[in-house]
Amino acid sequence: MKDRVFADKINKKFEFDEAVASVFDDMLSRSVPFYDEVRELIVSLILAQEKEGMKVLDLGVSTAKFLLDLHAKMHVAMQLKGIDNSQAMLDRAAQKCQAFGADIDLELADMLSYRYDQEDIIVSNYTLQFIRPIRRLELMKKIFQGLNRDGMFIFSEKVVFEDKVLDKQIIEIYYEYKKEQGYSEYEIAQKREALENVLIPFTINENIQMCKDVGFTQIETIFQWANFVTFVVKK
């Protein structure tokens, strides 16, 4: 279904409700540059080290598109699990998993209070940015502690730039990108207003420093388009 959530006047902040869940796959593909390619890149990175019983946890699983892609391509039986705090998203995910016959564990949970249990790989695609900055370091600590000894955390985030002039220029370039995807100026403005103080991005350096502060020692970026970045960090 095509994303038309912000085509009409909306008088509330952005939330992952049924209206968003019903069009979320289209929203991601059209709103996040190279989203499909980044998803495929992460899947390939996991497949490069797959092993029987390896645990992969997706934070903010939404409609399970990422885990379904991984499930379809894996060569051995890995333990795939996704958590989300939106029941509407999990309902969509469960329907898709059933349709594809995919053995994926889905759980309604808050990633801040979830009990991480020696995960091999944790993935978070454009999810941390929705956690209040004051609690983001706390979450990162839980992720670090919840990974096994050789664990890996892969996360993608929208970022801001320290150079304010550059930041403004990049935002304008991004808005032009969204127009090319079929969004009207009204829809773009509506969504920006709805996301204000809901989606709060860090700079690249702030994300890297947060990883270092909790103990991650290997931190790399494997993709960037303008203000969208994918990080890979290891213990």
> pLDDT tens for residues 79-122?
999 999 999 999 999 999 999 999 999 999 999 999 999 999 99
Across the chain, mean pLDDT equals 90
Residue 66 phi/psi, 5-degree rounding, is -65, -50
Mean pLDDT along residues 139-146: 98
The Cβ of residue 65 has, within 10 Å, a number of other Cβ atoms equal to 21
Which letter, b or e, does each residue of 70-98 get, where b requires 16 or more Cβ atoms within 10 Å of its Cβ? bbeebeeebebbbbbbbebbbebbeebbe
Provide the residue count of the chain.
235
* Domains of the chain and any CATH numbers: 18-159+202-234 (3.40.50.150)
The confidence score (pLDDT) of residue 3 equals: 45
Q: Give the predicted TM-score (pTM) of the model.
A: 0.91
